[in-house]
Amino acid sequence: MESLVLPVSSKAEFDKYTSDPNKITVIDFTATWCGPCKQIKPIFEQLAKDYTNLNFVKVDIDDARDVALAFSISPTFVFLKGGEEMTPRFSGADRNRLTKTIEGLATPGSSGAFSGLTTTWSNLNPQAKVLIALCAA
């Protein structure tokens, strides 16, 4: 059976699908590289089949960045040490805040969770590269 979830790849498409003032729309902001997004997809699809009186749309944040920005959908950064959250998390592509936080964690002589690690662009995993690209945008 065909999916009842409407894919959105532009703001114009989003506006078309969500303009009915009498219809509630459920939005799934997703990305092809997002593991949790893939896990929830079949559940979201089933809910669309079960609740046909609602609009179900999926917005790929890489294809429809303008829609993601309109809803302040952004990456979230969490810093852990020994599995415990150590610095307040923050959302958004704030390059300066991210850089300053990492610099603070990686100061010379630091015993932070990141000390002693050397990472180059070539050995980053694809998800990390996408996250960095989103922050730099």
Q: b/e per residue, 23-61, with b = 16+ CB within 10 A? A: eeeebbbbbeebeebeeebeebbebbeeeeeebbbbbbb
Catalytic member of 4, 6, 37, 40: 37
Residue whose pair of structure tokens reads 């150590």 in the numeric block? 86
Residue 37 a catalytic site member = yes
CA geometry: angle 55, 57, 61, nearest 5 deg? 155
Examine the residue annotation and report whether 135 is marked as an active-site residue of this protein: no
The residue from 4, 6, 27, 34 that is catalytic is 34
Can you name the residues that pair with 6 across neighbouring β-strands? 57
Q: What is the three-class DSSP state of 97?
A: helix
**Which helix (H) or strand (E) covers residue 113, if one does?**
none
Write out the catalytic residue numbers: 34, 37
